[in-house]
Amino acid sequence: MRLVQKMEPRHQITFFAIFAIVACSGTAGKDGTNDSVSAEPQATSTAATGASPLTGARIAVAHAGPAGEWQMPAGDYASSRYSELSSITPQNAANLRVAWAFSTGVLRGHEGQPLVIGNTMYVVTPYPNVSYAIDLAQVGQPLKWKFRPANAQQAIGRACCDVVNRGAAYADGKIFYNLLDGHTIAVDAASGTQVWRTKMGDLSRGETITMAPIVVKGKVIVGSSGGEMGVRGWIAALDAATGKEIWRAYNIGPDKDVKVGAKFKPFYAHDRGKDLGVSSWPGDTWKTGGGAVWGWISYDPALNLIYHGTSNPGPWNENQRAGDNKWTAAILARDADTGEMVWAFQVTPHDMWDYDAVSENILVDLPIKGQTRKALVHFDRNGFAYTIDRATGQVILAEPFVPMNWSTGIDLATGRPKVVETKKTAQDKNITDICPSLEGGKNQQPAAFSPQTGLFYVPTNNLCMDFQARAVTYIAGTPFIGGNAPEKGGPGGYRGEFIAWDATTGRKVWGIKEPYPVWGGALATAGGVVFYGTLDGWFKAVDARNGKVLWQFKVGSGVVGNPVTYTGPDGKQYVAIYAGIGGDMGLLIAGDVAANLPYDVRERGTTLPDISRWTSWGGELFVFSL
């Protein structure tokens, strides 16, 4: 299929030599609440603190397909967003240039990432969720096909946070993705014809779908959005061949619905008991309690477990739902064949700050205190970075990765946060200066992991909020929120930071402060270069070891998508990224950047007062090479 499958030059030996020097110099510094301001990217340099050697770290699952392809949303089942390609290095990254670009024809937030299989790139747009197959083997990159699915217009107004789509999955010659109106579809990768189409969500109850599926052993795993609409969140598996639903597990409700049974062995005692998905809610409130699955899904073939997060409980007003509200704001491990829950860890019990736990769960074997641990690393909206035993659900360590003040730490005996009383939100009260804001220390923007450095590369937000909860009535198809939470920049005068994180110690190694929340994802490569994009439209290549910015290019719109890399038919390494500001940060918070409709012009938002000066909306794919 591929015209050329050239081996990439390898620099690993050189790289490891360099890395060894860096590792021995000990750049790790605990810096979760650093307020320092720096106009320039800087490496946080503190004295050696006895950090574990990281060279034993490896990704739990190998990259899917040839190294030069990008077959899965995160590149692999481990959600590592790491590529073995190594042509682009810190030495030559300054020579990167635009190779070609492609307008998706759609405005609004371009979260997610394209796929590359063989010599074809597959792009899925925000609503109306058009998909394109782009022929990489021909000059000018003509389309092989485009597919324009039937997609109910009503969905636009039922999606809380812009009409985003986080990408497609590929298996067995088919492209699988979700439509905003609640359908999952399969499209023939060769011809662009629809193979099957299954209605999974109910728009009239506020259920939309925005997440990227993954395919595990012939099953397409998908989950619902709608945590702001009073949905009852679920995750489901469809037969990849036919689209028939094989299993569906709710995240709230009786054990039978939640698929809690004989296999369920949570690590913490307070998570054991019958029907906790009902008894941790007052009355029938569990039926509209949120717990959606709009983020990323990981899979460990050895344990045969899938891992997913769940969204905030609904409504935001905690007064209407006393109790732990299981299993909202939680990380759940389920049997990949049956959906049965194997363990659960509620990251933020009785969440009252809109701290969804839908961040990706990165599956990496890490050397911790002399042992190799089967770890799951999760950077939560609540501001803590968790290193968890992915076999048992035990929290190994949890440390703040952004400025925060709502909790003083995680009690490792219970896994629960120690909550600061004065930062608890309450109905009819205005609780001020809570950090992080409801956008979280990190939101949908996925982190990356490099087995070369052993470090996680994390796009983060630095925002705080006031929280004003109020009573709200459930009305099907309308928001079920009950609160307002105006946001502002966090301490230090910057609103986002791209950081490198050591998950064996829970420490930040370096950081690049950004004027705006870093709402796009990260990509790590074997060349020692890490890529990310910014809300004001800079696409950057940085040195994986020290965060030095090697190259940057101003793309056509703010970046909320995730970079991928692939080998082109000419044997060269390419890096692709969507431009297209939007999502929660672009549409709701900025407001005015998306205000070009003649009937919908908005004032600037206080949170990002001048973002619209630097970018406006527009969906475009940019591809770079040396």
Partner 1 sequence: MKWHLPKLLLVLALLLSVACDSTGNARTAAGGGASASASSTPESTTSTSNLLVAGDSLRFVEHSENLAAGFPSSIKPVAIKNPHEGDKNAIATGGKLFIAYNCLDCHGAEGSGAMGPSFQDGRWHFGGSPAEVFESIYQGRPDGMPAWGGRITNDQIWMLTAYVRSLSSKDMSTENFTGKTVERTGH
What does the chain come to in residues? 626
Phi, psi of 111 (to 5 degrees): -75, 175
Of 477 and 571, nearer to partner 1 (C-beta) is 477
Which of the 8 DSSP states describes residue 604? Answer: P
What residue ranges bind partner 1 (CB under 8 A)?
A: 153-161, 227-228, 354, 428, 430, 437-439, 468, 470-473, 475, 477-481, 483-487, 584-585, 588-592, 595, 597-607, 609-610, 612-613
Q: How far is the CB of 409 from partner 1 (least distance, A)?
A: 26
Of 142 and 599, nearer to partner 1 (C-beta) is 599
Of 303 and 588, nearer to partner 1 (C-beta) is 588
Q: How far is the CB of 612 from partner 1 (least distance, A)?
A: 7
Nearest one of 164, 129, 83 to 576, comparing CA atoms: 83
Asked if residue 605 lies in contact with residue 79, where contact means CB atoms within 8 angstroms, the answer is no
Of 127 and 147, nearer to partner 1 (C-beta) is 127
> Among 119, 312, 462, 546, which one carries the catalytic annotation?
312
Q: How far is the CB of 87 from partner 1 (least distance, A)?
A: 38
Asked if residue 581 lies in contact with residue 590, where contact means CB atoms within 8 angstroms, the answer is yes
Q: How far is the CB of 396 from partner 1 (least distance, A)?
A: 31
Residue ranges of E strands in 50-93: 58-59, 82-83
> Among 162, 228, 335, 380, which one carries the catalytic annotation?
228
Whether 228 sits among the annotated catalytic residues: the reply is yes
Q: CA-CA distance, 567 to 85, in Å (whole number)?
A: 8
Element (H, E) at 277: helix 276-279
CA 558 to chain centre: 17
DSSP calls for 117-164 = ETTEEEEE-STTT-EEEEETTSTT--EEEEE-----GGGGGG-BTBS-
> Among 181, 324, 354, 380, which one carries the catalytic annotation?
354
Residue 625 pairs in a beta bridge with: 97, 574
Phi, psi of 287 (to 5 degrees): -70, -20
Of 159 and 329, nearer to partner 1 (C-beta) is 159
Of 258 and 590, nearer to partner 1 (C-beta) is 590
Q: How far is the CB of 473 from partner 1 (least distance, A)?
A: 7
Q: How far is the CB of 54 from partner 1 (least distance, A)?
A: 35
Nearest one of 424, 421, 406, 430 to 483, comparing CA atoms: 430
Nearest one of 566, 574, 573, 528 to 64, comparing CA atoms: 566
Residue 13's Cβ-count burial label (10 Å; 0-12, 13-18, 19+) is exposed
Asked if residue 83 lies in contact with residue 525, where contact means CB atoms within 8 angstroms, the answer is yes
Annotate 458-474 with three-state secondary structure.
EEEECEEEEEEECCCCC
Of 236 and 464, nearer to partner 1 (C-beta) is 464
Q: How far is the CB of 487 from partner 1 (least distance, A)?
A: 7
SS3 at position 225: strand
Q: CA-CA distance, 487 to 438, in Å (whole number)?
A: 8
Q: How far is the CB of 255 from partner 1 (least distance, A)?
A: 30
Of 61 and 434, nearer to partner 1 (C-beta) is 434
- Active site members: 228, 312, 354
